[in-house]
């Protein structure tokens, strides 16, 4: 009989036998198979395991918070890997799930590291002045309309335009197969309910080199604000915008960036002594383990 606890983790590099494991969470409505594509160019020694959102499994209840999703997934993560450090890679919304997964493994007395693939913290990026926002938005809306309604479009441009609308327009999931519609509905609910608090785990941010119009309406700090919440180690840049960076020829540089980022967070996680594990640092008094070790 198949172990039901193993149904939410999928191997991403089945041909790799030896190496260091990491767990990959896709973005809003993303299946674990999309993580296989995204990590196809991650170099050895890294071996990926895709996390399947419970929403894709009919027998699973709906988890409408990242904390609930993490509690469900951590059972299978511990079963598939007995010892840390536990490395998590999350794209877009999946990065927030990875933060909660890291928090869970730290509470269980293990080390964790997180790679954030273009995970933005919108509460820390103020809107630009109106007179600079509306022309940019009008341009991109016109460009999107041209892509939708003319015959002079490539299949790739049409697909990416549809993905952008799906990510940023509520209600469009009704046209999708039920598991995908459910995953998007649960993901939106989790995003609406989420309150990020600090977690003392090393992180690396991989950010896109270009901003889509909805992102370009804000002023972003270099690290998207993550240094307020984690032991942030580095910012890497990969070509493309938020969606383009994980498609087509950009899979090569994003794969290399993920390999570099995994190396950084893996080495940093190993620095954490046992005494540092299992403690969340509050915003008012937070000093990272990295800073305390530097002073020592």
Instruction: Please check whether residue 98 is in contact with residue 88, taking contact to mean a CB–CB distance below 8 angstroms.
Output: yes
Classify the phi-psi angles of 229: left when phi > 0, otherwise alpha if psi is within -120 to 50, otherwise beta. alpha
| 293 band by pLDDT with thresholds 50, 70 and 90 | very low
Q: With 90 as the cut, is the pLDDT of residue 274 above it?
A: no
Query: What is the DSSP pairing of strand 86-91 with strand 202-208?
Result: unpaired
Q: What is the pLDDT of residue 291?
A: 43
Q: What is the pLDDT of residue 133?
A: 84
Q: What is the pLDDT of residue 22?
A: 98
Q: With 60 as the cut, is the pLDDT of residue 14 above it?
A: yes
> How much is the average pLDDT of 256-268?
98
Q: What is the pLDDT of residue 143?
A: 72
Three-class DSSP labels, 121-177: CHHHCCECCHHHHHHHHHHHHHHHHHHHHCCCCCHHHHHHHHHHHHHHCCCHHHHCC
pTM of the model: 0.84
Q: Phi/psi at 260 (nearest 5 deg)?
A: -65, -45
More confident residue, 211 or 171: 211
CB neighbour list of residue 185: distance below 8 Å, 6 or more residues apart: 55, 173
Q: With 70 as the cut, is the pLDDT of residue 117 above it?
A: yes
Task: Give the chain's domains with CATH numbers.
Answer: 4-295 (3.40.50.1820)
Q: With 90 as the cut, is the pLDDT of residue 96 above it?
A: yes
């Amino acid at each position: 009989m198949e172990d039901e606890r193993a149904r939410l983790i999928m191997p991403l590099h089945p041909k790799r036998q030896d190496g260091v494991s990491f767990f990959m969470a896709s973005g809003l409505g993303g299946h674990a198979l999309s993580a296989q594509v995204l990590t196809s160019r991650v170099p050895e020694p890294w071996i990926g395991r895709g996390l399947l959102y419970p929403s894709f499994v009919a027998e699973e209840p709906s988890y409408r918070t990242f904390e609930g999703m993490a509690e469900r997934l951590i059972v299978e993560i511990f079963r598939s890997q007995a010892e840390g450090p536990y490395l998590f890679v999350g794209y877009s919304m999946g990065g927030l799930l990875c933060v909660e997964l890291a928090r869970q493994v730290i509470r269980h007395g293990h080390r964790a590291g997180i790679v954030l693939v273009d995970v933005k913290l919108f509460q820390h990026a103020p809107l630009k002045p109106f007179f600079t926002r509306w022309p940019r938005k009008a341009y991109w809306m016109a460009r999107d309309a041209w892509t939708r309604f003319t015959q002079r479009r490539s299949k790739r441009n049409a697909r990416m335009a549809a993905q952008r609308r799906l990510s940023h327009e509520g209600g469009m999931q009704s046209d999708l197969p039920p598991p995908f519609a459910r995953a998007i509905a649960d993901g939106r609910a989790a995003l609406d309910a989420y309150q990020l608090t600090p977690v003392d785990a090393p992180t690396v941010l991989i950010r896109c080199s270009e901003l889509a119009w909805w992102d370009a309406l804000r002023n972003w700090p270099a690290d998207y604000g993550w240094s307020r919440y984690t032991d942030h180690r580095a910012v890497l840049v990969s070509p493309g915008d938020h969606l383009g960076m994980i498609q087509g020829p950009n899979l090569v540089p994003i794969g290399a960036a993920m390999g570099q980022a995994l190396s950084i967070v893996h080495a940093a996680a190993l620095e954490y002594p046992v005494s540092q594990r299992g403690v969340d640092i509050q915003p008012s008094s937070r000093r990272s383990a990295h800073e305390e070790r530097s002073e020592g």
